[in-house]
Structure 1
Amino acid sequence: MNYGVAGSIFTVVVFVCFIGIVIWAFSRRAKKRFDEAQNLVFDDEPTQQTDKKERESSINE
């Protein structure tokens, strides 16, 4: 087996892995997890309700 054949086999294997990842990324099953993951950035931000309570408590003190 020379480098040309090994390179061709490697290229085919990588291409098949790429196609598998693309199919997985756009599958309906993964959509729910991706939707939850995209909103993780906002989970640590306080809500408006929390802000209002904090302002009221600081005014009353």
Structure 2
Amino acid sequence: MDVNDWRVIVTVLSFITFIGIWVWAWSKKNQQRFEEAARLPFQSE
């Protein structure tokens, strides 16, 4: 394998990882948990 083949493989894997994280972050089942985390700095004890 050539070094350019490795660069292509790493780029594709990085893109797939990015898309996976993006889908996870915008999924409906995580929405409530993220909204609660977003309100944490404004809660006083």
Length-normalised TM-score, structure 2: 0.90
Q: Which runs of 5+ in 1 are unaligned?
A: 47-61
Amino acid of the structure 2 residue aligned with 1:29: K
1:27 maps to what in 2? Answer: 27
- Take 1:40 and 1:25, find their aligned partners in 2: how far apart are those partners? 18
CA-CA distance at 1:43 after TM superposition: 1.4
2:5 maps to what in 1? Answer: 5
Q: Larger RCO: Structure 1 or Structure 2 (Cα < 8 Å, ≥ 6 residues apart)?
A: 2
CA-CA distance at 1:2 after TM superposition: 1.3
Q: Which runs of 5+ in 2 are unaligned?
A: none
Aligned-pair identity in percent equals: 40
In the TM superposition, structure 1's runs of 4+ consecutive aligned residues that sit over 4 Å from their partners are none
1:16 maps to what in 2? Answer: 16
1:37 maps to what in 2? Answer: 37
**RMSD of equivalent CA atoms:** 1.1
